[in-house]
Structure 1
Amino acid sequence: MKNKILVTGGAGYIGSHTCIALHEAGYDIVVYDNLSNSSREAIDRLSILIGQTVEFIEGDIRDSELLREVFASHKFFGVIHFAGLKAVGESVAKPLLYYNNNVSGTITLLEVMAEYNIKNIVFSSSATVYGDPESLPIDESSKRSCTNPYGQSKLTVEHILEDLAVSDDSWNLIALRYFNPVGAHPSGQIGEDPNDIPNNLMPYISQVAVGKLDKLSIFGNDYPTVDGTGVRDFIHVTDLAQGHVSALNYLNKQTRPNEGGTAKKNSVGFLPINLGTGKGTSVLELVSAFSDISGQSIPYQFAERRAGDIASCYASADKAKTLLGWQAELSIADMCRNTWRWQSMNPNGYNVS
């Protein structure tokens, strides 16, 4: 029998790509999403891509009664938890909204999981928990600190997961710390579709390339980097999706038959793992690569540094390779090519009307 996974936030950018990877790896999926920053169209396209109707439940992770109904009617192996708000600027303006959704919502989810004795979870964390790194590359033992409420909400959830693991050793809690997800599915059918003006660099570049936005603002050109612009670890979203499959596979392998033939469980506890390429790319390098791939000029202007931005940030992904057998495979050119295919095929994102 296939293992069934609840994917909270599964209609979103990373969630939808992970649903494809899960299906291809033989998992059954149930998507739970309130569509606050995603689209029903993504679910429809996801169903076409995997060749079967995706079971979709429109709901909020703060809705404990609906969650109970979902857990009562399915036998889940575990949960991949993407559901959460993710715009740094908005989190500064509306911190209570972020703590209510990202922290309180996760507590509600964990409480319902405990009621139904489902204790395997892969949490969508973030490299923002590292703040301004003291040294590079960043590994999982690096000091954690945050410069905004979004990052703080992720770090708070990590602390909750750590405390939960200490209180009850039957929990298996993997926190995947993403670096900078970009790219789209090679089909061009699903991709990143931000509300209003994009907060992230790649969708902003692609919307300039397609003519939707006039020019790119690059915040800071005086950092101590290769060309003065910020350096980040960009990872293709389909590589990231495979990282979640590898994490679930790892949890699966913790149950092995012992000599008597019964299952013996090795508790994972709280396990943080970076997902990145281990390589840094500057903003100008990414702009140049995208222009080369798309054949479009990307007008840009330099602007003042933004508060809280850091010069460089890239991962040590050794732990993911050692423990999960996972490493990023796709290049910056792949990321740009797939993003351009998605953007040019869907200039208005999922808004097809």
Structure 2
Amino acid sequence: MTAPLDVSGSAAEAHPESVLVGAGKAIQGRSLTRIAWIRLRRDKIALTGGVVVLLLILMAIFSSPIISLLGHPPLEYHQDQIDPNTLLPKGTFGGVSGEYLLGVEPINGRDVFSRIVAGAWISLLIGFLATIVSVVIGTTLGVVAGYFGGWVDQVIGRLMDVFLAFPLLVFAIALAGVIPDKAFGLEGDSLRIAMLIFIIGFFSWPSIGRIVRGQTLSLREREFVDAAKSLGARHGYILFREVLPNLLAPILVYATLLIPTNILFEAALSFLGVGINPPTPTWGGMLSEAVRFYTLPHFVLFPGLAIFITVLAFNLFGDGLRDAFDPRAH
């Protein structure tokens, strides 16, 4: 028979409550958003991309004060900065100086810095609004297709295939050639911007639609959807109150990756001459004009760097968001 243990005067006499120091404190839960923010803060590269994106947005919003402070009106000619014999900017590296931070354009002498800053709001505006159009259409049709399945899924799926096979660039070039100077109460740059938003946004929704459809196929088999159905919830309630909130993370991540794609497409259309009409400054239009002066590569460098930095920053930030919202990430 085993002798009883002598616990008198030892640590075993202590009550369990006294051993668990701080056990009385309430345990605080962390939401998915907070967990994602903690992960995102650890990703210095993604945070750097996010800071650059924020600076670009602020530059686009406050483009007029920035131009007034550091540059000249983007459509103003400065013939005194042009050599009358060569029609090239005076000085070195395209006339870069304290007054003209990135120099001036050949022949007309327009301020390159001011035109890049002024072109930022057009590129970002088209990129953001076209992405919103794509997300709204793609999310709506993707959720409906994934949730209902059957013939609804088949119809929407074939519609996605048609749009993905559509020659978007050819259509944009053809539409830009036949669009009138005034339509739908719009004219000039406003009409062109609306046209680009429609073309880019309306024809790029199938990409996000397929992602949302795949996520919805998984979510519709989850327990909370079955519970809502057992309680008599209607399809609309389940879609917008149960399924859609669980899709916000992948939608947000894909939207940040879709914005730079739309910005590149707008720049390509402007480069081909079917985007915003000159002399309104756009990054793609500046590249198109700079191609003529192949002996002066810096006029291609500056707008090219603006596009490169913008696309890279959005991609880095989007990749960081994707990793932050990934439940399998450590």
Q: Give the TM-score range, shorter chain.
A: under 0.3
Greater relative CO (CA pairs within 8 A, separation 6+): 2
Relative to total residues, which structure has the larger strand share, 1 or 2? Answer: 1
TM-score (norm 1): 0.23
